[in-house]
Amino acid sequence: MNGSNLRRGTFTILLALCATPWVGTAQALVMGIAVGLLQANPWPRQTARYSKMLLQASVVGLGFGLSLGEVIQTGKDSIWYSVIGISCTLLLGYGLGKLFKTGTNTSALISFGTAICGGSAIAAMAPVLKAKSDETAVALATVFTLNSAALLLFPLVGHWLQLDQNTFGVWSGLAIHDTSSVVGATSAYGATALAIGTTVKLTRAIWIAPVVMAASLIKGGEQQARIPLFIIGFLGAAAIRTLLPSYEHIWGELAGVAKQCLVVTLFLVGAGLSREVVKQVGIRPLVQAVSLWVLVSALTLVALKLPWSA
């Protein structure tokens, strides 16, 4: 068996294992990263495309595990954290970009991705800023690298600080970049953390549309942004569960399948972290992104632990 066939065979076996209940989210991520860094992903373009599609389908499926009332209440409870957090993150990102002399567009994309929803937010904002392909790629690679770190670090910090599942879910939803990483970190922490973290993150992702439109008006452009369809699907699934409670066992099964699909998704996400991506990030964008992320994570956790949040 030549090297190419060996890589494909190993990748296929590990992917199949991730579809079984014996592999959890953290294990899938580590396996994916090992494949990406040690032997190289044999199908990088395909896995990038399918991981995005599978994530969106999984998020919709998770909606069957929640009632519409739970979704609305969680979103309402976290809205002020979202508004204040987005504003402060964008301001901090601007300041850090100036401090570390990161390119203007790269700095703005990193800040926007950190403030709202990682790669989705960066992709939506790039046309407004007329960012070059390499600027967008660096911002995406930087945020993607930190997403992988968040999946492993957040549960460790949460257990070390003895955070309850409610606090951990809200913190993850506000401080982790992408939906996939929020889901991965919270699912490893507990079912309640997963439900809360996913809802908070999706509520935050809705802000992509108004912020992109505001930036477009400031820049004098015509770029429009719409609420991602998978968020609408998530809300629709929760509404179906609420309106048809007699089929709760079916909704529970669908939510369970969605959770296992997320394990597969995280393997694919991890496999996308190649040596080339790590090299592409560069030192200045990485220092800015890490500094911004650490500040946002720490300040968000402090805010959640203050008396007014109780």
Question: Tens digits of per-residue pLDDT, 171-190?
Answer: 998 888 887 788 888 988 88
Has residue 249 been placed in a domain?
A: yes
What was the pLDDT predicted at 138? 76
pLDDT in tens, 289-302: 899 999 989 988 88
Supply the Cα-derived Rg of the chain in whole angstroms.
Answer: 19
Residue 159 falls inside a structural domain: yes
Looking at residue 95, its pLDDT comes to 92
- Residue 138 CB contacts under 8 Å (≥ 6 apart), including other chains: 106, 280, 281, 282, 285
Residue 84 lies in a domain: yes
Cα-based angle 80, 81, 82 (whole degrees, multiple of 5): 85
pLDDT of residue 168: 94
Residue 2 makes CB contacts below 8 A (sequence gap 6+) with none
Q: What are phi and psi of 182, to 5 degrees?
A: -60, -50
Q: Contact at 8 Å (CB) between 310 and 103?
A: no
Q: What is the pLDDT of residue 158?
A: 93
Q: What is the pLDDT of residue 154?
A: 93
pLDDT, residue 238, reads: 84
d(CA 18, CA 10): 13
Q: How high is the mean pLDDT of the chain?
A: 80
Domain assignment present for 175: yes
Is 6 inside any structural domain? no
Residue 63 in any domain: the answer is yes
Question: Crossing angle of helices 133-160/104-115, nearest 10°?
Answer: 40
What's the domain count of the chain? Answer: 1
Give the domain range for residue 104: 46-304
Read out DSSP for the chain?
--HHHHHHHHHHHHHHHHTSTT--HHHHHHHHHHIIIII--S-HHHHHHHHHHHHHHHHHHHGGGS-HHHHHHHHHHHHHHHHHHHHHHHHHHHHHHHHHT--HHHHHHHHHHHHTTHHHHHHHHHHHHT--HHHHHHHHHHHHHHHHHHHHHHHHHHHHTT--HHHHHHHHHHHSSSHHHHHHHHHHH-HHHHHHHHHHHHHHHTTHHHHHHHHHHHHT--------HHHHHHHHHHHHHHH-GGGHHHHHHHHHHHHHHHHHHHHHHHHT--HHHHHHH-HHHHHHHHHHHHHHHHHHHHHHHSGGG-
| Distance separating alpha carbons of residues 10 and 135, to the nearest angstrom | 33
Asked if residue 23 is part of any domain, the answer here is no
User: Which pLDDT tens digit goes with each residue over 60-82?
Assistant: 887 787 777 777 776 676 677 77
Q: Is residue 24 part of a domain?
A: no
In this prediction, the residues of the chain whose per-residue pLDDT falls under 50 are 310
